[in-house]
Each structure stands twice: as C-alpha cells, then as structure tokens.
Amino acid sequence: MFPTKILLAANASDEAYPAVEAAVELANGTGSELQVVFVVSTAPELPYPKFTARERNEAFLEQKRLGGLRLLEDQVRRVEEFGGSVAVSHYREGNREREVIQLAREIGAGLIVTGGRRRPWYVRIFGPGFSTRVHRKADRPVLVVGEQGLQNSTVPR
C-alpha cells in the first residue's frame, strides 16, 4: 500500500524546501527508503555561431556540473536536518524530467516528490514548468509540494 522507495527530485529553488520536508515526513511515516536526485540540464546554450562561443558554453556547463554536485550535497544535508536519512543520492545530466522519470523506473520508486508552484497563466503560455512536465509524463504517482503545502498529486491513469 505504501511506497517502498520515494524519489525526491531536488533543485535549488525556494519550492524545494517544502518538498524536502514533505518527502522526509512521508519516508519516516511509511518506513520508505528516501533517495534524492539532482539533474543538471546539458542542453547547449544556443546559438553559438563561433567556436569561441562553444568553448564558453562548455566552461559554463562545467560550472553547472560543479554547482549541481554542491546542491545535491546541500539537499542531502537538508534531509538530515529534517530528521530523515538518504539511502542513495543520484547525480544525473541531461533532460531534467526525462532523467527523473527514468531513474524512478530504474530504482522502482513508488512515489516521486518535487517542489513546484502555480505559475501565472501568461507564464504557462510559454510552456509548463519542471514539476508540471514530470507530473504529466510520469508513469507513477507524483507529489508536487509548494510553499502552501500540497499543490498536486496524481495516480497514473
């Protein structure tokens, strides 16, 4: 009935803090294993018409990678501050929502927890945010937690 593994999709936004707290409470309350993932987007910053611009993009990507590793460590530390324990932390590179969903399948996670917020309609016109994309594409339950608490929860159709 309860998930045996919970995957927390961490990020550096303010929406991540309530999600971390909710994931810890769920994991501790259900006896589930908590795993954390941080994905660095490796999509190139286009356009790069010159070779030097490509080199700058690669240097920027390296900075993103180092920052991502630091943020993953910070999220693990935050989980421990809330009284939880992280069984495994994962660092991935690529398309953020695709990597989270693929990892959830690989580890057999029963629940994906992520932070999110309701964006204004004029922002949503240009595309959904990360939590909405994960919510729409996942083949397992997704819990989206915002500043005011639970925002959206689904069970796959």
Q: In this predicted model, what pLDDT tens digit does every residue of 24-74 receive, in sequence order?
A: 999 999 999 999 999 998 876 555 555 556 667 778 888 999 999 999 999
Domain 5-154, what fold? Rossmann fold (3.40.50)
Q: Encode pLDDT of 136-155 as tens digits.
A: 899 999 998 877 644 445 44
High-pLDDT (> 90) share of the chain, %: 54
- Quote the pLDDT of residue 44: 62
Long-range own/partner contacts, residues 51-54 (CB < 8 A, 24 or more apart): none
For 101, the token pair is 């969903």
Record the pTM. Answer: 0.82
Predicted local confidence at residue 126, as pLDDT: 77
Alpha-carbon 32 to chain mean position: 18
Domain boundaries, the chain: 5-154
Q: Could you tell me which of 97, 78, 104, 101 has the C-alpha nearest to residue 22?
A: 78
DSSP code for 125: T
